[in-house]
Amino acid sequence: GAVVSQHPSWVICKSGTSVKIECRSLDFQATTMFWYRQFPKQSLMLMATSNEGSKATYEQGVEKDKFLINHASLTLSTLTVTSAHPEDSSFYICSARDGRLGLSSEQYFGPGTRLTVT
Amino acid sequence: GENVEQHPSTLSVQEGDSAVIKCTYSDSASNYFPWYKQELGKGPQLIIDIRSNVGEKKDQRIAVTLNKTAKHFSLHITETQPEDSAVYFCAASGIWNYGQNFVFGPGTRLSVLP
């Protein structure tokens, strides 16, 4: 149980284009999903928190117009990197919290998406 | 806000030896402490967690201890195997409805030498 998938696992795009990354909870309802960014040999940096049916909450310093997050259903959240630039190249990881667990804090992580902007 | 430190940043052990990674946190309100294992190019995988009402938890070769007074918690891996080689992250969090998200430590790169 508690499986989270991401698609695509890797993507290469040209500078100026937009890229959409999907995050799905496969066997549970994720009332809350999180998007992280990870640079090589560094820890995970929380970008935003999204609750199903409401606007995402972005961390300080994260541009909401550049990183569009949609959490339209209890099993799907998407991150769209708009007008991507080489500095957006990174490993993007989503996680999901099982809504059935009440006050529980467990987060289950997806396998990550490596974005390379040329 | 919460701040999590993790030591050591790198750790090399011989196969069969034990490995210990320690984390300290600053916010006494934190009460959930998970440990994640991340292999190269993959997402973090939850390996064990502990809550503040428990001092120790064990799952086969992996154990976690928590000292709330000193605000530190540790991961113990016994009988290490080459497949234990990975980056390990600790994290601290509060009860979800208080709006606290995970704060991760900087990670420890564990190498198990055959």
Question: Residue A101: closest CA among chain B residues belongs to which residue?
Answer: B96
Structure-token pair, residue A16 = 């100026």
Question: Residue A107: closest CA among chain B residues belongs to which residue?
Answer: B46
Choose the closest CB to A104 out of B96, B101, B107: B96
B10-29 pLDDT, tens digit each: 999 999 999 999 999 998 88
* Binned average pLDDT, 10 residues per bin, chain A of 118 residues: 91 97 91 92 92 87 94 91 96 87 74 97
Distance from CA of A63 to the nearest CA of B (A): 19
A44–B44 C-beta distance less than 8 A: yes
The confidence score (pLDDT) of residue B7 equals 97
- Using the Cβ of A49 and the Cβ atoms of chain B, whether some distance falls under 8 Å is answered with yes
Distance from CA of A103 to the nearest CA of B (A): 5
Please tell me the number of Cα atoms within 13 Å of A99 on its side-chain side: 14
* Binned average pLDDT, 10 residues per bin, chain B of 114 residues: 93 98 93 94 94 91 96 97 97 68 93 95
CB pairs under 8 A between A and B: 52
Read out DSSP for chain B?
A: ---EEEE-SEEEEETTS-EEEEEEES-TT--EEEEEEE-TTS--EEEEEEETT-SEEEETTEEEEEETTTTEEEEEE-S--GGG-EEEEEEEB--GGGTPPPEE---EEEEEE-
- Using the Cβ of B1 and the Cβ atoms of chain A, whether some distance falls under 8 Å is answered with no
Q: In sequence order, what are the beta bridge partners of B93? A: B32
- Using the Cβ of A5 and the Cβ atoms of chain B, whether some distance falls under 8 Å is answered with no
User: In chain B, what residues touch A106 (CB-CB under 8 Å)?
Assistant: 34, 46, 49
CA distance B102 to B1: 11
- Using the Cβ of B42 and the Cβ atoms of chain A, whether some distance falls under 8 Å is answered with yes
